[in-house]
Amino acid sequence: MKVVYSIEDLRKTVQTWRKSGETIALIPTMGALHDGHLSLVSIGRSYCQRTIVTIFVNPTQFGENEDLATYPSDFIQDKKILEKANVDLLFAPSVKEIYPSDFATQISVKGLSQEMCGAIRPGHFEGVATVVTKLFLQALPDTAIFGEKDFQQLQVIRRLTADLNIPVKIISGPTVRDADGLALSSRNSYLSESELKIAPVLYSTLKSAAQAIKANNSNIEHICEGALQSLLTAGFLSVDYFDVRDENTMMTVTKIKGAERIFCAAHLKGARLIDNFKL
Ligand code: PAF
């Protein structure tokens, strides 16, 4: 696996592949890799001849009081994992390479970015949208793969790709879970042993709420309120939202028509967890 740190070196390799007619899949990550990331790599490989993984802990998507300084990172381990997964290229730029001191541009996706995690974490999706747009323009891949655990992020990226006519096909990968149902996330490493016992309740609560909604479509608000309360009873400290939303607009709905998901963000002491479930 080739490891490059500059946009120039990334482009040189991409150009060589393009000259020999090879297709390219991009998998943007912030490192601290787990099986969820590896599933995105294998999806990328099934679409394209070459795979590029990026590791960049993007400072602009972290709020002031968030975990930028402590975000888990193990570059040597990540490199080994990617080598074993036969990734062709790892792009690991520095903050200066991505955001030179005179950097002044921001990509903002209206509407979608203001709901749910966007409302709770102002500026988060602008940071994501800006860095993903840059990575697309730097690597010029045919496809890019993103996980469905971060479903709102996926839709923000789909919107910006369509709106800016970026010729990259966005593919989503299903959420990868532990045997107990907990969605894999780099931030799970923040959870204590006792919190790891509570965390899977998020997924089981999403599933029970989905069943209840299917049985009683008109009572969505009431079912979501009950589910939120049961998360608090299970030991979550607070719940940012437990909502049924249209998966394209991210707006709340009162009836299930076929394109909805339940979305939840809830706090344990160690970490804020997000998950979603297709209705
Ligand atoms: O999902 C992530 O890891 C990040 O938000 C992404 C897409 C790599 C942008 O920094």
Whether the Cβ atoms of residue 238 and residue 112 lie closer than 8 Å to each other:
no
Task: Indicate if the pLDDT at residue 156 is higher than 80.
Answer: yes
> Does 6 share its domain with 110?
yes
Decide if 169 is inside a domain.
yes
Q: Does 181 map to a domain?
A: no
Q: Tell me the CA–centroid distance for residue 242 and ligand 1, in Å.
A: 23
Domain with 44 in it: what CATH number? 3.40.50.620
Q: What is the pLDDT of residue 31?
A: 98
What CATH number is associated with residue 201?
A: 3.30.1300.10
Question: With a 6 A CB cut-off, is 90 part of the ligand 1 pocket?
Answer: no
Query: Do 52 and 145 fall into the same domain?
Result: yes
**Cβ-based neighbour number of residue 110 at 10 Å:** 8
| 139, 21 contact by CB (below 8 A) | no
Q: Which domain holds residue 88?
A: 2-173
Q: Render pLDDT for 50-92 as a digit per residue (tens, 0 to 9).
A: 999 999 999 999 999 999 999 999 999 999 999 999 999 999 9
Question: How many residues are recorded in the chain?
Answer: 279
Residue 64 inside a domain? The answer is yes
Query: Domain check: are 151 and 206 in the same one?
Result: no
For residue 56, the ligand 1 atom closest to its alpha carbon is 10
Q: Are 243 and 116 in contact (CB under 8 A)?
A: yes
Residue closest by Cα to atom 6 of ligand 1: 29
- pLDDT tens, 2-58? 999 999 999 999 999 999 999 999 999 999 999 999 999 999 999 999 999 999 999
Distances in Å between the Cα of 253 and the Cα atoms of 216, 242, 250 are 14, 12, 9
Rounded CA gap, 213 and 224, in Å? 9
Taking the centre of ligand 1 as the mean of its atom positions, its distance from the CA of residue 269, in whole angstroms, is 23
Pocket lining: 29 vs ligand 1, CB cutoff 6 Å: yes
State whether 15 and 139 are in the same domain: yes
Domain finish residue from 133, 151, 173: 173
Which residue, by CA, sits nearest to atom 2 of ligand 1? 29
Same domain, 190 and 148: no
In this structure, the answer to whether residues 85 and 15 fall within a common structural domain is yes
Regarding the beta carbon of 126 and ligand 1, being less than 6 Å apart is answered no
State which of 141, 173, 205 marks the end of a domain. Answer: 173
Q: Which residue is closest in CA terms to ligand 1's atom 8? A: 29
Asked whether residue 179 is assigned to any structural domain, the reply reads no
Do 63 and 191 share a domain, yes or no? Answer: no
In a domain, 240, yes or no: yes
Domain count, the chain: 2
233 located within any domain: yes
pLDDT of residue 254: 87
Whether 82 is in the pocket of ligand 1, judged by its Cβ within 6 Å, is: no
202 and 150 share one domain: no
218 has a pLDDT exceeding 80: no
Angle CA 250–251–256, to nearest 5: 95
Spatial strand order in the sheet of 89-91: 2-4, 89-91, 50-55, 24-29, 143-147, 169-173
Q: Which residue, of 139, 173, 207, is where some domain finishes?
A: 173
Q: Average per-residue pLDDT in the chain?
A: 97
Can 37 be counted among the known catalytic residues? yes
User: Are 168 and 193 members of one domain?
Assistant: no
CB 26 within 8 A of CB 143: yes
Considering the domain architecture, whether residues 88 and 217 belong to the same structural domain is answered as: no
Residues 227-237: pLDDT tens digits? 999 999 999 99
**pLDDT score recorded for residue 110:** 97
Report which of 54, 68, 42, 59 is spatially closest to residue 10, judged by C-alpha positions. 54
Q: Do 137 and 33 share a domain, yes or no?
A: yes
In a domain, 249, yes or no: yes
Q: Does any domain span residue 52?
A: yes
Residues 124 and 19 in one domain: yes
- Best mutation site among 40, 58, 146, 160 for ligand 1, i.e. most ligand atoms within 8 A of its Cβ? 58
